[in-house]
Structure 1
Amino acid sequence: MRNIVLISHGSMARGVRASLEMIIGHQDYLHVVELPEDGDNIQFETALSDKMKALNGATLIIADLLGGTPCNVALKHYSDLSTVDVIAGMSLPLVLEAAVNETLTADDLVNLGKAAVVNAKGSLKETATKEAEPIDLSEFEAYQGKANIVNTRIDERLIHGQVAGIWTTSLNTQRIIVINDAAATDPLQKSSLRMAAPSAMRLSVLPVAKAAATINSGKYGLQRLFLLFKNPTDVLAFINAGGQLETLNVGNMSYKEGAKEVTKSIKIMPEEAEIFKKIFEQGVKISAQLVPSEPSIDFMARLNKI
């Protein structure tokens, strides 16, 4: 894995790293060098030099500001080294892309960083006016009951950084299907989900019963599907409606009064524990895993210990 060094005036670099690791977990290859308020270019040169000497292999330096002291120092010392790239214009989306996809070049990352800056309010209105394209189901009859589901996940936040930037990318997902009655009937929420999904990825937001019927119908052919649920109640309802699941990944369930902790990111109520047991009785293997880089945990084994 290439090294990534974030450099900035003040604590911006540290803040971006903290936000990134909130999404994808701790990353050993991600480093920070900061220019403090009372520091100068000489002190920063020493700090950056010490950090770079401790690293081996390819390194990507991401600076906060073109023309600022951190960026100028990096260019002064490393512009002639083929193993070091320097980018200016640090942002969380840019660093996220660099962290999860080592194959992206410096130019690729710059283009992706530019594309991540959008008029969110304007885009929301534009998305809300789009209508779903009609699909001829007859051409997919050969795929009935053969849906290509690459992951099924419970995540209270539905589409966010871990799903959009990490899971779907690592699994080469072609379509995200959000399965939740409330989301499917709320135009504003549907528009927000479309904005949050990767632009190159298809998205469907469906009620539970319709999702089971539609997926079984073969409508999505051989597309690599990522099924996304908000809670275990919807998962069990999906199964009872005829939905076919072999595995279930539990990612994020937030704390509620009376909930017990299964993992740091998963807190469940007693009634939810009973629902998980019913899902497990249907032959579904349940795991807990926040991001792909972390180990998968046997959810039921952990649940039975609390």
Structure 2
Amino acid sequence: MVGIILASHGEFANGILQSGAMIFGDQPDVKAVTLQPSEGPDDLKAKIEAAIATFENQDEVLFLVDLWGGTPFNQSNGIINGHEDKWAIVTGLNLPMLIEAYASRMSMTSAHEIATHICEVARDGVKTQPATLEPKKEKEEVVTKQTAGAIPEGTVLGDGHIKYVLARVDTRLLHGQVATTWTKTTQPNRIIVVSDSVAHDDLRKKMIEQAAPPGVKANVVPIDKMIQVAKDPRFGNTKAMLLFETPQDALRAIKGGVDIKELNIGSMAHSLGKVVVNKAIAMNQDDIKTLEELKEMGVTFDVRKVPADSKENMDNLLKKAKAELKNS
């Protein structure tokens, strides 16, 4: 695995390391190195060299640095002298860049390859809202789009069956961990939030659609509409990530014919009448009943917030919830 050095003036590197862990989970062979006001270039160089010495693979090292020409860059640039064939530096460190670097390590084994790849993602991560504030490019690319209109009903695309790369229960629906970590891991071409309440809330619906990561379209549909989509052969080329607010919504969709074999349980928020069973999940009697019914239907559970987490055992969590509710 490619080792990563995060280098910055002040505490920025430590902060972005923590932010990355919140979204992608704790990562091995990643070290934050900071230049403090009381320190000089030699102090920083010693820190960087000590950090690299902890990496399991010191042949491939990627330096993600805050600013071109600053001391963290200059010291990193001196250290890679003689290693240019394997090591690389990318400046302008931002959170999209870091998350993409983490994801890239899953499939890329070269620091050079990752460095080339993450630059475009880092640039695309700089956006404005409203979008009209985006600066105009000097040369606009001319793109010709063919408007085919709606695909005729009855058309069969692909094998006629929608593919579910992930089905997840998450009270927060589409947020950073989902839009980055899970999207990179499962590679959907469409994210579908399946919720009656959100589908009828124009503000929440708009916010979710705008939160979609680059290259992936997000839709919000009621549960009955998702049941129709699941049976429509026009979605045969769709690789979908389904997001449910509650296990009850997931159960209703599955009973209606949405062919989900495994359900990722990411978070179930605490509220009145629920008991906490781990850091992300709280349950009441209805949740227990729903999850047990899903289990009886043959649905398996993948209980974890991000792919890097270890999977938890749903039977143990249900047992704990029953005991807590009995004693409450």
TM-score normalised by structure 1 residue count: 0.89
Q: Which residue of 1 aligns with 2:292?
A: 277
In the alignment, the residues of structure 2 paired with residue 147 and residue 282 of structure 1 have an alpha-carbon distance, to the nearest angstrom, of 20
- Asked if the contact 1:286–1:299 (Cα under 8 Å) also holds between the matched residues in 2, the reply is yes
- Between 216-225 and 25-34, report the one with greater CA deviation: 216-225
Name the counterpart of 1:238: 253
2:60 to 49, 58, 61: 58
Which of 205-214 and 240-249 deviates more? 240-249
Tell me how far apart the structure 1 counterparts of residues 79 and 311 of structure 2 sit (CA, whole Å).
Answer: 42
2:39 corresponds to which letter in structure 1?
A: G
2: distance between equivalents of 1:216 and 1:301? Answer: 35
Per-residue CA deviations over 1:198-255 (Å, capped at 9, x if unaligned) read 2212332110111111112223113222111111121122134333322111012223
Give the corresponding residue for 1:129: none
Distance 1:287 1:50 in 2: 38
Cα distance in 1 between the residues matched to 2:121 and 2:132:
17
Following superposition of structure 1 onto structure 2, how do residues 204-223 of structure 1 map, counting pairs within 5 Å?
A: 204-223=219-238
Find out whether 1:122 has 2:131 as its counterpart: yes
CA drift of 1:59 comes to 0.8
**Which position in structure 1 is the counterpart of 2:241?**
226
Q: Which runs of 5+ in 2 are unaligned?
A: 134-148, 322-328
**Stretch moving more, 89-98 or 63-72:** 63-72
Distance 1:302 1:57, change over 3 A: farther
Q: Distance in 2 between matches of 1:6 and 1:276?
A: 42
Residue number among 133, 138, 158 corresponding to 2:154 in the alignment: 138
Aligned to 1:127: none
Out of 288, 293, 298, the position equivalent to 2:303 is: 288
The question of 1:107 aligning with 2:122 is answered no
Number of the residue aligned with 2:137: none
Q: Which amino acid aligns with 2:74?
A: N
Distance change >3 Å, CA 35–CA 215, structure 1 → 2: same
- Partner SS for 2:277: strand
What letter matches 2:78 in structure 1? K
Whether the 8 Å contact between 1:287 and 1:300 is mirrored in structure 2 is no
Q: 1:69 maps to what in 2?
A: 71
Aligned residue for 2:14? 14
| Rounded Cα–Cα distance in structure 2 between residues aligned with 1:74 and 1:201 | 35
The DSSP-based 3-state class of the residue aligned with 1:153 is strand
Secondary structure of residue in 1 paired with 2:155: helix
Equivalent residue of 1:17, what SS?
helix
In structure 2, the partner of 1:92 is 95
Structure 2 residue aligned with 1:41: 41
Q: Secondary structure at the match of 1:178?
A: strand
1:194-213 matches, cutoff 5 A: 194-213=209-228
Mapped to 2, the partners of 1:27 and 1:83 lie a distance apart of 21
Instruction: Return the alpha-carbon distance in structure 2 between the equivalents of residues 120 and 303 of structure 1.
Output: 43
- Post-superposition CA distance 1:52-105 (Å, at most 9, x none): 233323111111112211111111221441221111111111101001112353
Alignment partner of 1:136: what SS? coil
For 1:302, the equivalent position in structure 2 comes to 317
Conservation of the 8 A alpha-carbon contact between 2:6 and 2:31: yes
Give the whole-Å Cα distance in 1 for the aligned partners of 2:176 and 2:132: 18
After superposition, give the CA deviation of every residue in 1:10-32 in whole Å (9 maximum; x if it has no partner).
Answer: 11111111111111211112111
Cα deviation digits, residues 259-304 of structure 1 (max 9, x gap): 3233322222333222222222332222312222333233234312
Structure 1: how far apart are the matches of 2:115 and 2:300? 40
User: The residue matched to 1:109 in structure 2 has which SS?
Assistant: helix
Which residue identity does 1:138 align to in structure 2?
G
In structure 1, C-alpha distance between the alignment counterparts of 2:222 and 2:159, rounded to whole Å: 21
Q: RMSD over aligned Cα, in angstroms?
A: 2.3
The amino acid of 1:61's aligned partner reads F
Q: Which moved more, 1:151-160 or 1:165-174?
A: 165-174
1:142–1:168 distance in 2 versus 1, CA, 3 Å:
closer
What residue in structure 2 maps to residue 149 of structure 1? 164
Letter in 1 for 2:152: D
Q: 1:54 to 1:305 in 2, by over 3 A?
A: closer
Amino acid at match of 1:140: V
Q: Secondary structure at the match of 2:288?
A: helix
Contact 1:141/1:217 (<8 A) preserved:
no
- Which piece of structure 1 moves more, 31-40 or 235-244? 235-244
The code of the aligned residue for 2:118 comes to L
Whether the aligned pair in 1 keeps the contact of 2:247 and 2:291 (CA below 8 Å) is: yes
Q: In 2 relative to 1, CA 95–241 (structure 1 residues): closer, same or farther, beyond 3 Å?
A: same
Counterpart Cα distance in 2 of 1:302 and 1:65: 46
